[in-house]
Amino acid sequence: MRSSNLRNILFALGDYKGKLVQDEQTTTYDYFQVYEFLFTDKRTRKFEAIGPTDHHHLTAFVTPREKRSMPRPIFRNTILKLATLTVATLVLPLTMVLAQVKQESPIAKPEPARTESPNPEQFKPEQQASKGSVTIGGNVVNYDAFAGTLVVHPRGWDDVPQNVDKDDKNKPTEASIFYVAYFKSDTKGTPRPVTFLYNGGPGSSTVWLHMGAFGPKRVVTADDTHTPAAPYPVVNNEYSLLDVSDLVFVDAPGTGFSRIAGKDKEKSFFGVDQDAWAFADFISQFLSKYGRWNSPKYLFGESYGTTRSAVLSNLLETEQDVDFNGVILLSQILNFSLDSDFPEFNPGIDVAYELNLPTYAASAWYHHKLPGAHPDLAALLTEVERFAMNDYALALGAGSSLPADQRHAIAAKLHDYTGLPVAYIEKADLRISGGEFEKNLQDESNLTTGRLDTRFSGPTFDPLSKEAEYDPQSAAISSAYVSAFNDYVRKDLKYGENKEYKPEIDVFKWWSFAHKPPGVPFPLPGATNVMLDLATAMKYNPQLKILLNAGYFDLATPFYEGVYEMQHLPIPPELQNNIEFRFYESGHMVYAHEASLKAIHDNVAQFIRSSDNSKTK
């Protein structure tokens, strides 16, 4: 996973319910939970229909498919708009069907009830040790590797065994969190930095950062085309961050080899605040287990991982007295009302269109779709950013009062910056969503442009569709990452026998986007916004340094969105000096482009060296 827009309609209408029918199971949710289903993951999209309580309901029958390479299900736009229109006008009862129903559908026989053992087995921490070496910058780094798990519990868990209810036959609610830690050997007792790394989703494992960016081994994929099938080359990673920091790759609860168990397990771990607490518990335990409390500490999150980092840094600092030296953000999203997906469902709020425009321009530049010559990408983007936040913003703000001649002039300028036809732009009311841009940029070639990385292209599924229906970048490289890691973790790290590695899981049936910001006594429903969390962490620890990394060709979390968020943090002006910005000619997974991988390694390494507070550099 993100649409905050339908939430406004739901709040205006009052208490609504939604029904999800999946695998012949029907679940009812209250109105803000139904809104949360419309949140869009940066790797996976899903939605459910909605309707008012008691008198009207909309039921969406959906096939059980959640796949990173298929981010936009076919027919999503039609159904979602019908659902929105229906709720807004309180129409009579209606049933919506999304899925091709087979003419002869056998009736599934109910499974026999499963009996729980009177003394259910609890998770136990695991650890598998191995050794290895990696060559970085011509220097060999020997390391000790530990692949294992730590057991974490929800907030409020009582760790006193005597307080456990002896008559409670339910399995205790807990999560077994999988990690792979790499420690440089022979450090002679020097307190070396330790960096905790994780991808996002929510619902994604950390296979992407591990095998593509900073682990000691790296899978090699094609730069902007579909990577051929196995065997995939796995090489020494000369861009690993082991030259400057020990590394801990962490899989979120339920992903990878991590597992959850117990009563209300999904409710306990699948949510903005629940997830952050689980990671905080994990980090505290890890620091104790490996004696790293006095090491310089860093968080490195990608995509939703940046959301997690904002909450986590504030939680650990203000509640558990654990300061961090730095927070490294890659492909940032902190305020989900700025999300690039589905801005059309939040009419009157046009900032997302403005923040998308520089990425549209960069993408059109890459595919040679701009009508003019622009030899310098950085100069072009500076020009587009100025237009987006001034003339374009004023035009969108004018709404229907914008004079026709000005409307045409803005459309012509948008054509210059996107390559899209003026007539199409005017028909779209000057407002083009990410999915529409992906579908139409190379439409004359029957190609769909990538979302996570717009440098990628793939055959269009439906030439008549309004928006892109899948992500060619995700389709192009996912198999290589997952295959390479499954091979590596078992053969080199000696972990995973008789276990399934889950690169991504579907969490959206349970995920709560309600968040309790600092200073608020209860979680707030609505579009998640963790800017206040990061701001509070920076004010609580004014030495905390931030490094924002972003790819110009990322249409999942556009680079200018991250800039906008940072420039609007509620912090004193002097703390803005603690924030560094680094940009790359790559996409969401910056490291998928080797030149950008080298650059991000060098930038992050320098960031750590400059902020680790050690006397020996």
pLDDT single digits (tens) 261-295: 999 999 999 999 999 999 999 999 999 999 999 99
pLDDT of residue 58: 30
Domain closes at, from 473, 506, 525: 473
Best CA proximity match to 350, nearest among 316, 312, 407, 399: 399
Sequence-ordered strand ranges (E) for 185-236: 194-198, 217-219, 234-236
Helix, strand and coil in the chain, % to nearest 5: 35, 20, 45
pLDDT attached to residue 105: 37
**pLDDT tens digits for 429-443?**
999 999 999 999 999
Alpha carbon distance 556, 340 (integer Å): 7
Mean pLDDT of the chain: 84
CA 350 to chain centre: 22
Check residue 314 and report its DSSP letter: H
Going by their DSSP bridges, the two strands 59-61 and 234-236 should be labelled as unpaired
Please count the other Cβ atoms lying within 10 Å of the Cβ belonging to residue 85.
Answer: 11
Contact by Cβ (8 Å): 178, 210: no
Decide which of 77, 97, 117 is a domain's last residue. 97
Nearest to 254, CA basis, from 123, 113, 114, 156 = 123
Q: Which residues contact 199 (CB under 8 A, 6 or more apart)?
A: 205, 206, 207, 208, 209, 301, 302, 303, 304, 305
Decide: 69 and 478 in contact? Cβ < 8 Å: yes
CA distance 217 to 232: 12
**What SS3 string covers 21-71?**
EECCEEEEEEHHHHHHHCCCCCCCCCCCCCEECCCCCCEEECCCCCCCCCC
* pLDDT given at position 53: 33
Is residue 48 assigned to a domain? yes
325 against 156, higher pLDDT: 325
pLDDT over 80 at 28, yes or no: no
- Look at residues 438, 357, 340 and name the one whose alpha carbon lies nearest to residue 395: 357
Please state, in angstroms and rounded to a whole number, the distance separating the CA atoms of residues 90 and 105.
Answer: 33
Confidence of residue 172 (pLDDT cuts 50, 70, 90): confident
pLDDT score, position 54: 32
Instruction: Say what the pLDDT of residue 13 is.
Output: 37
- Secondary structure of 460-503 in the HEC alphabet? CCCCCCCCCCCCHHHHHHHHHHHHHHHHHHHHCCCCCCCCCCEC
| Cβ neighbours of 496 (radius 10 Å) | 19
Q: Among candidates 20, 6, 79, 42, which has minimal Cα distance to 451?
A: 42
Mean of pLDDT values over 301-323: 98
The most confident of the ranges 119-128, 334-343, 601-610 is 601-610
DSSP string, 95-118: -EE-S---SS-PPPPPPPPPPPPS
Both structure tokens of 432: 């083009």
Q: What is the Cα Rg of the chain in Å? A: 24
How many H-runs (helices) and E-runs (strands) does the chain carry?
17, 19
How far apart, in whole angstroms, are the C-alpha atoms of residue 311 and residue 565? 15
Q: Number of folded domains in the chain? A: 2
Take residue 238 and report the two structure tokens written for it.
Answer: 């000369």
CA–CA gap between residue 575 and residue 569 (Å, rounded): 10
Question: What is residue 224's three-state secondary structure?
Answer: coil
Highest mean pLDDT among 32-36, 50-54, 70-74, 315-319: 315-319
Q: Which of 117-126, 319-328, 361-370, 423-432 is the least confident region? A: 117-126
Contact criterion met (CB below 8 Å) for 1 and 66: no
Taking 70 as the threshold, does the pLDDT of residue 45 lie above it? no
Residue type, 365: W
Please report the pLDDT score of residue 186 as a whole number: 84
Judged against a pLDDT cut of 60, whether residue 449 lies above it is answered with: yes
Residue 341: the pLDDT is 84
> pTM for the complete prediction?
0.83
Q: Is residue 517 part of a domain?
A: no
Domain around 355: 345-449+456-473
Q: Do the domain assignments include residue 283?
A: no
Report how far Cα 131 is from the mean position of its chain's Cα atoms: 31
Q: Which element (helix H / strand E) includes 411?
A: helix 404-418
- 515 DSSP assignment: B
b/e map of 213-239 (b: 16 or more CB within 10 Å)? bbbbbbbebeebebbeeeebebeebbb
Neighbours of 99 (CB within 10 A): 14
Structure tokens that stand for 291 in this block: 């004696």
Residue 390 domain flag: yes
Measured CA to CA, the distance from residue 219 to residue 591 in angstroms comes to 11
| Residue 214 vs residue 103, higher pLDDT | 214
Give me the half-sphere count of Cα atoms (radius 13 Å) on the Cβ side of residue 320: 21
Read off the pLDDT of residues 334-393 as tens digits, 9 standing for 90 and up: 999 998 888 888 899 999 999 999 999 999 999 999 998 999 999 999 999 999 999 999
Domain boundary among 78, 97, 116: 97
Quickly state the pLDDT bin for 115 (edges 50, 70, 90).
Answer: very low
Q: Are strands 259-261 and 174-184 parallel, antiparallel or unpaired?
A: antiparallel
420 within some domain:
yes
Task: Compute the Cα dihedral for 29, 31, 33, 36 and give only its sign.
Answer: positive
**Residue 62 pLDDT > 80:** no
Q: Is the pLDDT of residue 168 over 70?
A: no
Residue 370 lies in a domain: yes
Judged by average pLDDT, the poorest of 64-78, 247-261, 468-482, 529-543 is: 64-78
State how far the Cα of 38 lies from the Cα of 342, in Å rounded to an integer: 10
Examine residue 168 and state whether it is found in any structural domain, yes or no: no
449, containing H or E segment:
strand 447-449
Q: How far apart are the first and last CA of the chain?
A: 39
What pLDDT is stored for residue 63 in this prediction?
Answer: 30
CB atoms within 10 A of CB 574: 8
SS3 539: helix
DSSP state of 229: S
Q: What pLDDT score does 161 carry?
A: 65
Q: Percentage of residues in the chain with pLDDT exceeding 70?
A: 78
Determine the Cα–Cα distance for residues 64 and 73; give it in Å rounded to an integer: 11
- Does 16 fall in a domain? yes
CA distances from 441 to 77, 409, 466, 546 (A): 19, 20, 12, 34
CA 191 to chain centre: 31
Give the pLDDT band of residue 326 (cuts 50, 70, 90): very high
Whether the predicted pLDDT of 584 surpasses 90: yes
Q: Which helix (H) or strand (E) holds 318?
A: helix 304-320
pLDDT tier for residue 187 given thresholds of 50, 70 and 90: confident
